[in-house]
Chain A
Amino acid sequence: MSAHPVWTVESVRRALTEKKISARELTDEFFRRIGNRNPELNAYLALSPERAYAQADRIDRQIARGAPLPLLAGVPVAIKDVISTAGIVTTCGSRILQNYLPPYDATAVTRLEQAGAILLGKTNCDEFAMGSSNENSAYGPVRNPVAPDRVPGGSSGGSAAAVAAGLAVIALGTDTGGSIRQPGALCGIPALMPTYGRVSRYGLIAFASSLDRIGPFGHTVADVATALAVLAGEDPNDSTCAKTPVPDYTAELNTPVQKMRLGIPKEYLGAGIDPAVRQRVEEAIQQLEKLGCTIVNISLPHTDYAIATYYLVATAEASSNLARYDGVRFGFRAPGETLTEMYRRTRGQGFGPEVKRRIMLGTYALSAGYYEAYYLRAQKVRSLIARDFAEAFRQVDLIVTPTSPVPAFRLGERTSDPLQMYLSDIYTVTGSLAGIPGISVPCGTTPEGLPVGLQILGPHFEEARVLRLAHAFEQAGGFAG
């Protein structure tokens, strides 16, 4: 991919403690890489050099003193632009927040920096995280570093591309229907969606509140596990964040996976999957069997209803969350004679086509006379989808599927038909609706060299188990394909 060495959390720590490089020099190197590569990729929307160098110098002083270094000391990180960063422009990929300066940091950002991470900047994404290709950003699409004529996936496309191109070691994304896992798959890197409520969302600009989650991208499963260890845990500022104790995710990584029971849902390898993707995933399943896992064929019978359910629930919640963008308190304002005219023009001009489409659909699904037929019905079917998983996890420890039915597609190839774009989220929206954790790990490439992702889903709060299998698979050479 590039002549640069691939920095990981582990190699950064070693280089810093052995004084092969200073945190400041490392930061310089990453800004240099970004300067070289970002004009083409458009992965970063804003850089935060002042904040990065202040933190780098702090880490260098700790090293000089011989002080113990925190988990992510000196690790360069990127933050998806839907996550608030105090004093650094946070646009959500939208014109409506073009100059928005958050007055505070998201808890996830605070935790990364407290763990010593160096915040390089904010990454591009689909507007308000709505999209599967990163083509819905008001600031232009992101290109896939593996194949620059193709999309990186979305909505966290900038974060995935930044890590894959070596422009960050860890990046934060958000996942509502697949927005971490799918770009992870399309860019060929590990990408974790934690359990709903595992990571605080204080400071995350909301899209769909019953679905949104923050999670990390990294070069290795171990890096993702370390990032989760830093991010996870209760937060008095987010009442939806669980108080469930946080296990030591990295300590359990090397526990053997022998005798693990892995469910393969028949609904995930059926019609609509690219043959090369299917082949890589079937090979991955064989490899997991060689590692001593037991493969169990299972069924998740309501899978076929997941896209319809997801696009009703998510758009309904989005339509109410996005009501706050009215040109009064922050962001873009279009002039109007009356208050209502100002609202309507601000929102009409400030939001892009996909966001308006989803607000329209969600408003319709919640409106008088349609609420029961659409929103309430979808919430009931959501119960059935969650129940499918609960029942499956009585028979198996984890579930293994493809992450995306297709590898990275060409820019512009799928923008004309929104429903077709929605349908490509089929393997990821189910886990989102059920609130369970899932990771995408690379499992080789198509004959054209495009990455394929393997999705591993686990029961609520069983990230350690998910990471363990992902790590074992990676160590066994899942990476190489």
Chain B
Amino acid sequence: MSIRREDVLRVAELAHLELSEQEVQLYLQQLDSILRYVEKLNELDIEAVEPMAQVLTPSAAESDPMREDLPCPNLAGEHVLRNAPEARLPYFRVPKVIER
């Protein structure tokens, strides 16, 4: 196994995912087989290779990426809050974060 149960639990915690015991078992096994597969990248000598940080060729990406900083109207608050599971203008409502 290249991945352990503790790793799966730790990753689920980092990713804010509540997993059932069954899911933990399934992902342990599936991530293990995927991680074993991606180990084939270790066959390559990549010491001198730069990571691909940009997709476009410089000529296409270049020119001036900045646009003019012009003020434009924001989305209306009620329009934005319409999608919130719980809200009271102008706020999103969440479970209590700070104990008083």
Chain A residues packing against B (C-beta within 8 Å): 99-101, 103-104, 196-197, 210, 236, 239-240, 242-244, 302, 304-305, 307-309, 311-312, 319, 323, 326-333, 336-345, 347-349, 351, 353, 356-357, 359-361, 363-364, 367, 374, 376-384, 386, 418-419, 422, 433, 435, 460-461
Contact = CB atoms under 8 A, between A and B. Distances in A.
A353 B17 CA distance: 11
B84 A382 contact: no
B17 A379 contact: no
Contact of A381 (B7, B12, B46): B46
B62 to A, nearest CB: 9
B17 A351 contact: yes
B82 interface: yes
B89 interface: no
Contacts of A307: 37
Given A308-B37, A311-B38, A330-B84, A339 B18 contact: no
A461 B49 contact: no
Contacts of A338: 95-96
Given A347-B16, A356-B23, A460-B56, A308 B85 contact: no
A309 B39 CA distance: 10
Contact of B46 (A329, A330, A345, A380): A380
Contacts of B27: 356-357, 360
A358 to B, nearest CB: 10
A384 B46 contact: yes
Given A367-B11, A379-B51, A243 B31 contact: no
| Among all A-B residue pairs, the 6 with the closest Cβ atoms | A348-B18, A379-B51, A333-B85, A330-B83, A435-B55, A344-B18
Nearest to B7: A364
Given A197-B61, A339-B97, A357-B27, A379 B53 contact: yes
Contact of B60 (A197, A330, A341): A197
Nearest to B44: A381
Given A363-B14, A419-B30, 4 more contacts: A197-B56, A305-B41, A367-B10, A376-B51
A343 B42 CA distance: 36
Given A328-B92, A374-B38, A333 B55 contact: no
B1 interface: no
A309 B44 CA distance: 12
B41 A104 contact: no
A330 B84 CA distance: 4
Contacts of A435: 55-56
Interface residues of B, number: 55
19 contacts: A101-B82, A103-B80, A103-B83, A196-B55, A239-B65, A302-B44, A308-B40, A311-B38, A328-B84, A329-B80, A347-B16, A348-B19, A357-B27, A363-B15, A377-B41, A419-B33, A422-B34, A435-B55, A460-B60
Query: In the complex, which of the residues A196, A244, A381 has the most CB atoms of chain B within 10 Å of its own CB atom?
Result: A381
B51 A380 contact: yes
Contacts of B49: 380-381, 383-384
Nearest to A313: B52
Contacts of A99: 83
A185 B81 CA distance: 41
Contacts of B63: 243
Contacts of A344: 16-18
B83 A242 contact: no
B95 A337 contact: yes
A418 B34 CA distance: 9
Residue among B11, B31, B92 with max Cβ neighbours from chain A (10 Å): B11
A141 to B, nearest CB: 20
A307 B52 CA distance: 16
B100 interface: no
A142 to B, nearest CB: 24
Interface in B39-90: 40-44, 46, 49-53, 55-57, 59-61, 63, 65, 67, 75, 79-80, 82-86
A327 B16 CA distance: 12
A319 B31 CA distance: 15
A359 B46 contact: no
A244 B11 CA distance: 41
A345 B49 CA distance: 41
A379 B52 contact: yes
Contacts of B97: 339
Contact of B31 (A309, A312, A357): A357
A196 B61 CA distance: 10
A402 to B, nearest CB: 22
Among B16, B34, B83, max chain A CB count under 10 A is at B16
Contacts of A210: 55
Given A100-B83, A418-B34, A419-B33, A342 B56 contact: no
Contacts of A242: 56, 60-61
Nearest to A237: B67
Contacts of B59: 244
